[in-house]
Amino acid sequence: MSYNVNFLFLLDYWDALLEGLMTTLGITGLCLILGLGLGFVVALLRLSSNPVVKAVTTLYVEFFRGTPVLIQLFWIFFCLPLILGFEISNFVSAVIALTLYMGAIVSETFRSSLRAIEKDQMDACVALGIGGFTKIFYVILPQAILRAIPTLLSNSVSLFKESALVSAVGMSDLMYIGQNISSVTFKPVEMLTAVAVIYFLIAFPLTRSVSWVERKLIHKIAL
Amino acid sequence: MQTTTQDTPAFIKVRGLKKSYSETIQVLKGLDLDMYPGDRIVVIGPSGGGKSTLLRCVMGLENIDEGTIEVDGKPYIKGQGRTEKNAIDHTIQKQVGMVFQHYTLFPHLTILQNLTLAPVKSRGIPRSQAEEKARGLLKRLGLADKADAQPSQLSGGQKQRVAIARALMLSPELMLFDEVTSALDPELVNEVESVMMQLADQHMPMMIVTHDMWFAKNIATRVVFCAGGVVVEDGTPEQIFSNPKEQRTRDFLEKILHTENAA
Ligand SMILES: Nc1ncnc2c1ncn2[C@@H]1O[C@H](COP(=O)(O)OP(=O)(O)O)[C@@H](O)[C@H]1O
Ligand SMILES: [Mg+2]
């Protein structure tokens, strides 16, 4: 084999990698916040008794869960401008695509946690004369959100990993920087391995914390 | 029927109550029941006989098919067909409180918040006033130190006492108890039953479903044997327990007392 594995050269590029990581974390954070809001609203809308609202939101969720994020991203970046008649920057495209993706999976998380609230709780509300706004905001939503937290953590990890796709539209995130360095230095093995390790070092503790958070929450409020 | 109460107007009057959960299966089949002022009714009967359904209908938790429920001579709930919504007087509904078998506390709120949520948010009672009342009730029920605990930190008996306190916060005129000790470990049953005895001493009108016949004898002014979706027999505890008229009542009591003695 003529390929010499040597990781030491990475030290020369740590600042570029760090910058890429910051971009990755920034876009993940932004889309996480937007996606949580969107998913929450969509979950509530899907419970609506209006058949049109229900159909539109269901279609949205199923479509974005059922198609590759890469295609969604390309479609927004390359095709949508043709329809709209103006350019959409790679940053805006990335944010839209990842937010729509996150919104779809998060809305499913919220939906199942809403459904998991026992009918008992509704009975208690009737018996106590708690209805309308108070029932939704003081009884149902807090429980739904608490129940959703562990799965939302997993959803966030998925978003973090999926965010590597934004490199495909030229966003200089961790993945993109890594690819660039590897093509300049001709060291793809070291570079891609290093990038994978960085993703892993961030995702792994988060994934592990899911079950810990779950146990804590169950202990605290006995879901 | 008791002759003494015949001419007093009934406090709760249930007439022709029919309730089905599906098109084919009717659970309550035209049930009649009168509750007079001062009555504490214990409903006994075989599992599946419709006891819970009766209480849930009185609470307004179920949409009834047919029949009426009156309170103090005023219409409270009226069935208008299986698929039509009941006519229900929500002002009267607010005077009824209910405690369930499985506590149904709000798990994300502290004990104090469980007690004050409804009065403060739904009845517009000032928070300070509601909290004062809540602390007073908790103290009375031996839970003074639990105000800031979460429901998950409480034993079943404590949770059930909190559930009773939560209902009492709204000063109900009628309390419904549906097998409130059935989910409890045997050693915790007494602390809940003695709270209910306290309420009885204060003349709280109650309708209680229980399988604890000893408790039924002690707390009831009237015992109603409910089976197959109707009231089969209705009388004083002495009469029902020592001299039941109906064969079905006798069979039921024989069976349940037999298993209790065996246990
Ligand atoms: N929500 C429900 N849906 C369908 N069937 C029900 C429901 N609740 C009760 N039932 C049925 O109604 C019958 C009476 O139940 P219930 O009132 O709980 O009786 P009890 O409290 O006397 O044991 C039972 O056959 C039960 O299976
Ligand atoms: Mg029952």
Low-confidence ranges of chain A (pLDDT < 70): 1-2, 219-223
Assembly ipTM: 0.91
- Whether B261 has a pLDDT exceeding 70, the answer reads no
Smallest Cβ–Cβ distance between A222 and the set B93, B102, B152 belongs to B152
pLDDT of A4 reads 75
pLDDT of A1 reads 53
B56 CA: nearest ligand 1 atom = 17
- The 10s digit of each residue's pLDDT in B38-86 is 999 999 999 999 999 999 999 999 999 999 999 999 999 999 999 999 9
- The 10s digit of each residue's pLDDT in B84-111 is 999 999 999 999 999 999 999 999 999 9
| Model confidence band, residue B1 (pLDDT cutoffs 50, 70, 90) | very low
CB A150 within 8 A of CB A214: yes
The bridge status of strand B74-78 relative to strand B206-209 is unpaired
The bridge status of strand B74-78 relative to strand B66-71 is antiparallel
pLDDT of B235 reads 96
- State which of B18, B28, B53 you would mutate to test the pocket of ligand 1, scoring each by most atoms of that ligand within 8 A of its C-beta: B53
User: Between chain A and chain B, how many beta carbons pairs sit less than 8 Å apart?
Assistant: 67
Cα of B50 to ligand 1 centre, how many Å? 6
Which of A164, A203, A174 shows the shortest CA–CA distance to A17? A174
pLDDT of A221 reads 63
As a whole number of angstroms, the distance between CA A188 and CA B128 comes to 68
As a whole number of angstroms, the distance between CA A46 and CA A55 comes to 8
CB B11 within 8 A of CB B37: yes
pLDDT of B7 reads 65
CB B156 within 8 A of CB B183: yes
CATH code given to domain A8-222: 1.10.3720.10
Interface test with B, best of A119, A121, A128, A136 (most B CBs within 10 A): A128
Q: Is the pTM of this model over 0.90?
A: no
Q: Which residues of A touch B167 (CB under 8 A)?
A: 127-128
Identify each DSSP E strand in chain B by its residue range.
12-20, 26-35, 40-44, 66-71, 74-78, 87-88, 96-99, 174-178, 206-209, 222-227, 230-235
What is chain B's mean pLDDT, rounded?
Answer: 94
- State which of B18, B20, B21 you would mutate to test the pocket of ligand 1, scoring each by most atoms of that ligand within 8 A of its C-beta: B21
The C-alpha of A140 sits at a distance from chain B's nearest C-alpha, in angstroms, of 9
3-state helix, strand, coil in chain B (%, to 5): 40, 25, 35
Q: State if residue B249 touches ligand 1 by the CB under 6 angstroms criterion.
A: no
Domains and CATH numbers, chain B: 12-101+176-262 (3.40.50.300)
- The 10s digit of each residue's pLDDT in B213-234 is 999 999 999 999 999 999 999 9
Buried-state track A57-74, b at ≥16 Cβ within 10 A, e below 16: beebbeebeeeebeebbb
Lowest mean pLDDT among A200-214, B148-162, B165-179: A200-214
pLDDT of A12 reads 85
Residue type, B240: I
| Model confidence band, residue B256 (pLDDT cutoffs 50, 70, 90) | confident
Q: Do A139 and B106 touch (CB under 8 A)?
A: yes
pLDDT of B3 reads 43
Cα of A82 to ligand 2 centre, how many Å? 64
Residue nearest to atom 13 of ligand 1 (CA): B48
Arithmetic mean of pLDDT, B127-147:
96
The first and second tokens of residue A109, run together, are: 């998380």
